[in-house]
């Protein structure tokens, strides 16, 4: 009866789904509906599905991880040896982003396992490599700075001459990391996959150049407390940030109290058309609390608004015991507004026998179930060629799994 129950729920598709990166338990899925250890999932098509004669899919984005690289300008912090399971978790996070983005230029990320976080206890931080990347060939907006990974895609060139595009640092001192791949995170631990996904998101574009001055002596703007300021050439993220009444923050006077008040008034939104469309027609609210926190304020989705697992990855807090293994439609819409091409297939194909090119199309299907379900958006469909897929998947987000022909069995 267990298998029949799961098949019924998969047919409904709005109730349950399969994790984007393997297996993760959603907060609203009763444990009793999940396969128990050792159970498999059979997909037996009620109707034969004809294999399309041809289909195309964009190439997935190439992300290359450099673990603890050495040399000038690389990690730039003290490093400790990477635990094998930590490497696997960060690699999984990069694979999820790879399945969602489409671009011609590889993204090289220095990933550093560092003990230097001991004083502040941070989980991690990540960002695009520094530099000015504006007015290059292919830039959609003039006089606008783009994060390096995106600038390379838009220019179809390597603007930084082969250096890494991003650097991410993870706290090697925390004993409470959860480094497993299953998304079943103990209440007292922090999921490394979710953290890495979040931090890479900042390097891809969730970052702006606007500042608020605390008047403490190290002048963020002009040394006056409460003043807000921005660069002459703003970041592309800032081009879309508005107050809730539709006023662009870049139209407010530079080095002004008006801008400072807007940054701390809990009334900022991201007004890109794709973000609005993916948020049900409303501009998604940004995190803009009364107390400014550099690196956190306005560069995240609002915590109290985006509380669901499906939308919460790019909020400022990652609670212990939580697994979020997909950026969510709103965050992907924001990246699309900034210029990313989102690999947003509503259908992917999986054939375990494929040993060649994989891009999820019917001619070049993924060869693992995990890859297939990673690439589809919420509510997508994954078509499986018949066979046994010896993988463990746990129901996590809405999608439909269908057999093209014959019986497909997923499970150990």
What is the spatial distance between Cα 321 and Cα 315, in angstroms, rounded to a whole number?
16
pLDDT value at position 308? 77
Structure tokens at 374: 């990673």
Phi, psi dihedrals of residue 404, rounded to the nearest 5°: -75, -50
Question: Over the range 292-316, which residues count as b (16 or more CB within 10 Å of their CB) and which as e?
Answer: beeeebbbbbbeebbeebbbbbbbb
Using DSSP, state whether 207 is helix, strand or coil: coil
The pLDDT tens digits for 95-152 are 888 878 888 899 999 999 999 986 677 899 998 887 679 999 999 999 999 999 999 9
What is the spatial distance between Cα 161 and Cα 158, in angstroms, rounded to a whole number?
6
What is the spatial distance between Cα 37 and Cα 185, in angstroms, rounded to a whole number?
17
**Residue of 111, 102, 26, 92 whose CA lies nearest to 60:** 102
By the 8 A CB rule, do 195 and 185 touch? Answer: no
Which residue's entry shows tokens 């530099």? 131
Overall residue count recorded for the chain in this entry? 412
User: Band of the pLDDT at 47, cuts 50, 70, 90?
Assistant: very low
pLDDT value at position 344? 64
Structure tokens at 327: 């950026």
Phi, psi dihedrals of residue 37, rounded to the nearest 5°: -55, 130
The pLDDT tens digits for 289-317 are 999 999 899 999 999 999 877 788 999 99
Instruction: Check whether 25 has a pLDDT greater than 50.
Output: no
Which 3-state string (H, E, C) describes 29-74? CCHHHCCCCCCCEEECCCCCCCCCCCCCCCCCCCEEEEECCCCCCC
Structure tokens at 148: 């390096």
What is the spatial distance between Cα 241 and Cα 155, in angstroms, rounded to a whole number?
24
Cα-Cα-Cα-Cα dihedral sign, residues 309, 312, 317, 318: positive
DSSP assignments along 325-339, one per residue: -S--HHHHHHHHHHT
Q: What is the mean pLDDT of residues 19-23?
A: 28
Q: At what angle do helices 329-338 and 192-204 cross, to 10 degrees?
A: 20
What is the spatial distance between Cα 222 and Cα 229, in angstroms, rounded to a whole number?
8
Instruction: Check whether 371 has a pLDDT greater than 60.
Output: yes
User: Band of the pLDDT at 405, cuts 50, 70, 90?
Assistant: confident
Strands 380-384 vs 395-403: parallel, antiparallel or unpaired: parallel
Which residue's entry shows tokens 């094998």? 84
Predicted TM-score of the model (pTM): 0.77
By the 8 A CB rule, do 267 and 244 touch? Answer: yes
Q: Mean pLDDT for the chain?
A: 82
Domains recognised in the chain with CATH numbers: 2-56+345-410 (no CATH), 63-206+337-342 (3.40.390), 211-278 (no CATH)
What is the spatial distance between Cα 177 and Cα 90, in angstroms, rounded to a whole number?
12
Query: CA-CA distances (angstroms) from residue 168 to 18, 112, 213, 237, 300?
Result: 28, 6, 26, 20, 17
What is the spatial distance between Cα 163 and Cα 368, in angstroms, rounded to a whole number?
32
- Of all residues in the chain, what percent carry a pLDDT higher than 70? 82
**Residue of 123, 132, 176 whose CA lies nearest to 151:** 132
């Amino acid at each position: 009866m267990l298998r029949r129950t799961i098949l019924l729920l998969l047919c409904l598709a709005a109730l349950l789904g399969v994790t984007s990166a393997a297996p993760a338990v959603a907060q609203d899925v009763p444990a009793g509906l999940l396969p128990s250890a050792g159970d498999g999932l059979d997909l037996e098509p009620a109707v034969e599905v004809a294999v399309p004669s041809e289909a195309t899919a964009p190439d997935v984005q190439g992300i290359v991880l450099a673990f603890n690289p050495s040399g000038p300008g690389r990690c730039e912090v003290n490093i400790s040896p990477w635990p094998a399971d930590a490497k696997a978790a960060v690699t999984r996070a990069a694979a999820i982003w790879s399945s969602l983005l489409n671009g011609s230029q590889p993204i090289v990320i220095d990933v550093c396992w560092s003990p230097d976080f001991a004083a502040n206890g941070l989980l991690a931080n990540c960002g695009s490599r520094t530099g000015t990347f504006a007015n290059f060939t292919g830039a959609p907006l003039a006089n606008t700075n783009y994060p390096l990974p995106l600038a390379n895609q838009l220019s179809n060139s390597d603007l930084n001459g082969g250096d890494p595009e991003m650097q991410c640092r993870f706290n090697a001192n925390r004993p409470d990391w959860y480094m497993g791949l299953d998304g079943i995170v103990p209440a007292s631990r922090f999921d490394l996959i979710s953290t890495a996904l979040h931090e890479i998101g900042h390097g891809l574009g969730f970052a702006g150049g606007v500042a608020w001055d605390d008047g403490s002596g190290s002048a963020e703007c002009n040394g006056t407390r409460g003043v807000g300021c921005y660069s002459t050439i703003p970041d592309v993220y800032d081009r879309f940030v508005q107050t809730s009444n539709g006023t662009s923050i870049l139209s407010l006077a530079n080095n002004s109290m008006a801008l400072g008040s807007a940054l701390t008034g809990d009334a900022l939104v991201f007004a890109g058309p794709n973000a609005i469309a993916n948020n049900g027609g409303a501009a998604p609210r940004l995190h803009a609390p009364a107390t400014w926190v550099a690196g956190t304020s306005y560069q995240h989705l609002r915590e109290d608004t985006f509380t669901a697992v499906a939308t919460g990855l790019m909020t400022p807090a990652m609670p212990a015991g939580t697994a979020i293994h997909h950026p969510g439609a709103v965050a992907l819409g924001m990246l699309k507004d900034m210029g990313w091409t989102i690999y947003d297939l509503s259908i992917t194909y999986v054939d375990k026998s494929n040993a060649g090119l994989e891009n999820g199309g019917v001619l070049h299907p993924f060869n693992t179930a995990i890859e297939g379900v990673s690439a589809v958006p919420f509510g997508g469909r994954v078509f499986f060629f018949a066979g046994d897929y010896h993988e463990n998947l746990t129901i996590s987000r809405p999608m439909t799994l269908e057999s093209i022909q014959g019986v497909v069995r997923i499970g150990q």
